[in-house]
Structure 1
Amino acid sequence: MQVEILTIGDEIITGHIDNTNASYLARQLTALGLDVKWLTAVGDQASDLRAALDLALTRAQVVIATGGLGPTHDDITKKVAAEYFNSSFVFVPEILQKIKAAFEARGRPMPKVNEDQAMVPEKARIIENPVGSAPGFWFEKDGKKCFFLPGVPAEMKAMCEQTVFPLLKSYGQPRREKIIRTIGIPESTLFEQIDNFKNLERLVKIAFLPRSGGVDIRLIATAENEEECERKLNQAVQYLQQKFSKNIYGYDEQELEDVVAQLLFQLKKTVAVAESCTGGLLAHKLTNISGSSDYFERGVVSYSNQAKMDILGVRAETLQKFGAVSEQTAVEMAQGVRKISRTDFGLSTTGIAGPTGGTPEKPVGLVYVGFADAHGAYAKRYHFFKDRLLNKNRAVMAALNILRKELLKLRHNTD
């Protein structure tokens, strides 16, 4: 069943707010096995909304519209929808009582303008709003369903979960989805290294989704029944696991710091970090996980050379000979923070985040990540791009991945 999502409001088409409603609806409807084919945004003009409904109902079996159900002058959706489906309005006392009760609960009198929200299209079926005042409604005509919901995200989500999704669930095709999260390999290389790509596509629909620091591989399997979906998806996942075992760090909603944290928990190891170019972002990521005090001892932001020497014990001659952005300095930073914190591991970052500060020898985007443990220390060189925030994030992802690999080696050796 093909679906069109229609988002209504001048604030959407002018870019003043993000269209989060469309993103949410697309994800949830796709997960139900429905075929979301079109996302349309339209402003608060009656003629534009009528034209959008005309087009949507010629090509989709289900239309879900959000926005324009409030009580103010620019909320035109209810009036246009009633006219479009040749419906008069009817007053529903129960809705008015609910609206009044909501205002009373907040200790505020109900403005008279809100009384209009108790007027609903007579031919429509009401969608109760469990968290707000404006009810939704839906029409069915010639076998097609057209839902109208408020634009307030919390209200729209609650109404979908309570009413709309249960109504549509039976129309979905059996479907399974898996996200495989990779790091350290470009999108183009992933594609090139998949043998018999067409054979894999017979099992699943594949999409490569680049993100900061890595690439997600999204797999979607559809079939006549749940068991066949599961079989096709598992077969595709197993193939990619064998092909890219060194680059896969997690699945679905897992973040790299989640994976690293679980390994640290399992192995009962501790880490401390010394940061220059990342300015505390690495420590932030490592402490995003509940219980991180079990493995995270401290983070040092040693931005200046003096801080590197005073706190971490980086030698003055190292800084003078090789500079702050160097393999040698990254190694001494990792060793130093491990020494003063008495942890199992030390991690460090030093680089030129940009967009200024680069030289021909050390351009913007040059980053060194250092690692130290009881057996030694090393640093890896990376060359990112010219965007400061992206470079900081990529450096952190690189550092977390180094720690992940070292933890996996340790786990393998102790199994």
Structure 2
Amino acid sequence: MMCRTDEARGPDREPGADATDVVFTSLLEDSAEELYEQAPCGYVSTMMDGTIAKINATLLEWLGLERGQVVGRMRFTDLLTVGGKLYHETHFAPMLQMNGEISGVALDIKSAGGQRMPVLVTSRVKTSDTGEPMLIRTTVFDARDRRSYEKELLRGRKAAEEARLQAEADRERLQEALAVLQQNLLPATLPAVPGLEAGSYYHTASPDLLGGDFYDLFPLDGERWAFFLGDVCGKGPQAAAVTSLTRYTLRAAAMHDPEPVNVLTTLNTVLHERYTSGDTRYCTAIFGTLHPLEGEVEVRLASGGHPSALIQRADGSADYLPTPGGMLIGVLPKAEFATARTRLLAGDTLLLYTDGLTEARTGPERELYGEDALRAFTAGRRPAGPQALIDALSKLIAGFGDGLDDDTALLALGVPTPVPTPASEDLR
């Protein structure tokens, strides 16, 4: 019998190889199952009617439920809050049925004790070989960190409302409060980015009204950074609330998935869902990522209805980085965004701005300043880095006087020119 086994094994297989393969395969299966069960995110598979067929231990722990209470007994919507169920029925499920997948949707699930837990949900329909839908696989990401951002937003809204009421009694004190709020909607200072220089400027057209322009620069990980600049429609406390929500959403979405188009898609979903009851609110924005490399920075960005970024090159030329076709953010449930890529070399500067600058009225005929004039102005200046360009533009804006009737935000990012090392002198 021993001889027959060795012969069947073949001349190239060592004794005991079959047993090793079986053990190795078993380890792989155990490892895959363990990864599924103990993953840092929740997994759930449902039948097409929503009945839960499989769920991992992570999601069960969040819910405070046992597997036997869930599998075959509950539907996915049973895990959601009342508002989550309504949104699932009216938006989530129809979009999933239409597109076959949907990602990054903010919902709230409820535990057995009744506590709410904010999550981001991604679902995909699995089909058979014939294209028939079989089941729905859903990934649930813990989004409890955004709760602090929501509290911050509520505090901002409360402060804005208090400022508005105070204006009826004391206009001077209102202006002071509005000035403080405006500062709180923008970063106090821009962070220092290795291998990069940054500069910013904000011009308030009216001290009586909060503006809707915004910008930010923040780290994503040990290598990449994110930036954005945009403009919310309208003015006053309502615009300030939308601005605060927009800044929080862009930051939170970038931490989850920094792909520029996906970040703007998440913002579009949030704004469209939040302001669909007659008080439509929308914005334009550019969101991008920076990857500093040796002597240069790789830039990837997406634009939703915003003016194209302008690049001042080290050789003195200036031109726009075209992003045509990007749609306004928050108007439609699904929007398309334009993308662009570039590399900033030593001495190059990327300029983002809001349309308050290009729509300023100039000259006796009160003509629009325009993008051509901005490009010519930039090309006519010696490249000296982001802050020098910001300083020149701030003086230009001041010269517009009452021709500038809209807030204007500027954000410039560039790669510094290496300082030449002086040659050593002969000390003989």
Whether TM exceeds 0.5 here: the answer is no
Q: TM-score, normalising length from structure 1? A: 0.22
Identify the structure with the greater helix proportion.
1
Pick 1 or 2: higher relative contact order, CA cutoff 8 A, min separation 6.
2
* TM score, norm. by length of structure 2: 0.21
